[in-house]
Amino acid sequence: MLQIGKYSLRNNVLLAPMAGITDGPFRRLCAEQGAAYAASEMISSDALLFATKKTKHRIERVENGLPHAVQIAGSDPDAMADVAELNVRFGAEVIDINMGCPAKKVCNRAAGSALLEHPDLVQRILAAVIARVSVPVTLKIRTGPSPACRNGVDIARIAEQQGVACLAVHGRTRADRFKGQAEYDTIAAIKSAVQMPVIANGDISNAQEAAQVLAHTGADGIMIGRAAQGNPWIFKSITEQLSGRPAPVAPSLTDIHATVTTHVSGLHALYGDFTGVRVARKHIAWYCKGLRNATTFRQRAYEAESPDEQLAVIDAFFSHPDAFCAVA
């Protein structure tokens, strides 16, 4: 059983936090399909950003039966501690610290994976946050700043010494971004070096890959990111097969229709009509990937300007997909 502080997770397959993707509606769907843990999207430690509507929805509790985990990012130890404390006051049950994001706009502020170049600052941030809150603090990192400097083991030891409850490691360096293939040797070395739970992340898209990564690294669990986009069913598929049970039947068009409708309706409710319709577009594209006449369906869904129109396009496609053989 995977343990994060006092929380016993129901399995060892977790959803990776992804900016602009793992909002409340998506986390709820993934939890329903078996994800054992689903932290919020990353939020900045900047107190001014904290008060914005865009940030507030990221930290709101989602009733999904999982520990309410909020991911924070920043480079100032005191500011990070302040935001962690504030989130706990608002109901966060786990604080997750992002030191893995490779995005330039994050790294240019010396946050995210840029921190891996500064182990002393990593130590001060972790110490400040853990001293300030009474809930478990987790950490997500990459294997290092660059292939020439994979210092993940050193960072992991610092994290354990400061009291981090669980460590997730993406098998690429900051310089790699999302290019090439994830490597798991560094994750295996990290797992051998520390006693705290270690979660392996990167290029895991099915149960076979999950089993191989777990065997190779000795990790306590895996974290699914991009492979869950448009595919929340992946959690049930992987957890069932890792438990020795047969792979679940693939979702039918009826199942996909119901899930897309629930997800898109949730986005409309969360973001409002204008923004919700636009946020939904990328999710619709992911859900329909590989389906017959998906290109035409995607185009019409993108052209929709209101929630009712977008939902009507979804209903029309899944009810009569053959009618989408050409653009009207």
- Provide the H-helix boundaries in 21-64: 24-32, 47-50, 53-59
Kindly state the DSSP code that residue 173 receives in the 8-state scheme: -
- Separation between Cα atoms, residue 17 and residue 229, nearest integer Å: 12
- Strand arrangement, sheet containing 137-142: 13-15, 221-224, 198-201, 166-170, 137-142, 94-99, 69-73, 42-44
- Separation between Cα atoms, residue 64 and residue 100, nearest integer Å: 25
- Give SS3 for 186: helix
Residue type, position 324, single letter:
F
Active site annotation includes 149: no
**In 3D, which of 206, 241, 209 has the Cα closest to residue 11?**
241
Sign for the CA dihedral angle at 285, 113, 198, 130 comes to: negative
State the catalytic residue, choosing from 30, 101, 107, 288: 101
From residue 88, give the alpha-carbon distance in Å to each of 69, 72, 165, 208.
9, 12, 16, 37
- Which value, to the nearest 10 degrees, does the dihedral of the CA atoms of residues 117, 92, 279, 276 take? -150
Contact predicate 199/139, CB 8 Å: no
From residue 54, give the alpha-carbon distance in Å to each of 46, 104, 119.
13, 20, 31
Residue type, position 225, single letter:
G
- Separation between Cα atoms, residue 37 and residue 168, nearest integer Å: 12
Catalytic positions, written as ranges: 101
